[in-house]
Amino acid sequence: MTNVLMQTSEGNVTLEVFTEKMPITAANFLKLIDDGYYNGLHFHRVIKGFMIQGGCSISKDPTSPRCGTGGPGYTIQDEHPSDAQFTNDVGTLSMANTGRPNSGGAQFFINTNHNSFLDWWDRSTPSAHPVFAKVTEGMDVIRKIEGSPTGMQDKPRTPIQIVSITRM
């Protein structure tokens, strides 16, 4: 388990990353953090009662019409260990993907509702998103971001920046 601090333009959020139970996804997230990948990006998708999403490399320019389509230049293997069935509960972080197997890379979302239909073992939809971290402090900041007015493609009208994410 590793703790990280996500500083946003709306406040700070502390995350616990599940390094032991989700080693592939957690190691990828931590590598991107160590490389400074997330610093300066913006949340590009906010849906009240569902989730907030960030990690798109193109979102450094929050006005780009391509926000939500960028990644780190590679994808990682889907991680679905039977001994780590973390549900997509409120405050958990999941790896976003294109809907195809092994298509995640850097984009993540923070659940603001219990979205169990996104659990990899739930077969009610084809979506399968591995949970790899959770919010331990700052859920009020997440709720503030979730309540932001949005426009087309669920993009916040006022950009919300991930100033930095660093290990604690």
Give the model confidence (pLDDT) of 47-57 as tens digits: 999 999 999 99
Could you tell me the pLDDT band of residue 84, with boundaries at 50, 70 and 90?
Answer: confident
**Pseudo-torsion of CA 73, 151, 8, 163, nearest 10°?**
50
Rounded Cα gap, residues 121 and 118, in angstroms: 8
In a domain, 154, yes or no: yes
CATH for 104: 2.40.100.10
pLDDT tens, position by position, 115-131: 999 999 998 888 889 99
Residue in 30, 86, 111, 129 annotated catalytic: 129
Cβ atoms of 55 and 38 within 8 Å: the answer is yes
50 is catalytic: yes
In a domain, 30, yes or no: yes
Residue in 18, 41, 53, 108 annotated catalytic: 53
In a domain, 75, yes or no: no
Number of domains observed in the structure of the chain: 1
Cβ atoms of 26 and 17 within 8 Å: the answer is yes
Please, what is the average pLDDT of the chain?
96
109 is catalytic: yes
45 is catalytic: yes
118 is catalytic: yes
Amino acid at 124: S
Its domain, for residue 113, covers 2-68+85-167
The neighbouring-strand residues paired with 14 are 5, 137
Residue in 111, 118, 132, 161 annotated catalytic: 118
